[in-house]
Amino acid sequence: MDFKKLFKLFLHTLYLSAFTFGGGYVILSLMDTTFVKKLGWINKEEMLDMTAIAQSSPGAVAINASISVGYKIFGFIGAFVATLGTVIPPLIIISVISYFYDAFISNRYIALILKGMQAGVGALIINVVIDMTKEVIVGRGFLIYGIFIISFILNVFLHVNIIYIILGLIIFGIIYSFYGGNHAS
């Protein structure tokens, strides 16, 4: 086992978790930059799959993504090390905040800093959505846009419950994958 690479995985997840504000969706963009573009440990398609799994699994998106990335690179021990690196910074930050809660809650400057960070978080989330959309739409633009428009109309204008839309899309996806999708026989 390459312990240097394992330690590097720990340091990268620790760093990403320590300096990423705004939740799991923000860390996904930075994980893509780090593990796909910078280090080349996983490819873009694998990262998209891991993102989908992280978002659909119960729990924090950042931890779910770290588990997936760590497991892909080093198996079980990688998942453990990446999770540890992701959990330590918020644990320390929450401990400090809870200790100084009264001072933080009434400090005007802290409130302004947090307000300013919200704009940056919004921009990063938009960046993640754009990047993921580009990858998914390639070669399937018409179908994806059609599904989006129909789902939007059903939910917003016809007030169809989102659960029914999701169930319908699951059925459509199954049928499409068997009859309409590309198959490598």
Q: Write out pLDDT tens, residues 104-145.
A: 778 888 878 877 877 777 777 777 777 777 766 666 667 777
pLDDT, average across residues 1-13:
92
Looking at the fold, whether 8 and 92 belong to one and the same domain comes out as yes
**Cβ distance 26 to 17 under 8 Å?**
no
Residues present in the chain in total: 185
Q: Write out pLDDT tens, residues 39-94.
A: 999 998 888 888 888 888 888 888 999 999 999 999 999 999 999 999 999 999 88
Measured between alpha carbons, how far is 160 from 57 in angstroms, rounded to an integer? 25
CA triple 164-61-125, angle to 5 deg: 85
Looking at the fold, whether 23 and 96 belong to one and the same domain comes out as yes
Looking at the fold, whether 78 and 164 belong to one and the same domain comes out as no
pLDDT of residue 143: 79
pLDDT of residue 137: 66
Looking at the fold, whether 78 and 145 belong to one and the same domain comes out as no
Looking at the fold, whether 99 and 9 belong to one and the same domain comes out as yes
Looking at the fold, whether 11 and 89 belong to one and the same domain comes out as yes
132-66-16-114 Cα dihedral, nearest 10 degrees? 80
163 vs 29 pLDDT, higher one = 163
Q: Which residues are within 8 A (CB) of 17 and not within 5 positions of it... i.e. 6 or more apart?
A: 27, 62, 66, 85, 86, 87, 88, 89, 90
Note the pTM of the prediction, 2 decimals. Answer: 0.61
**What is the percentage of the chain residues whose pLDDT exceeds 70?**
90
Residue 126 is assigned to a structural domain of this protein = no
pLDDT of residue 176: 84
Domain assignment of residue 177, given as a range: 139-184
Looking at the fold, whether 8 and 99 belong to one and the same domain comes out as yes
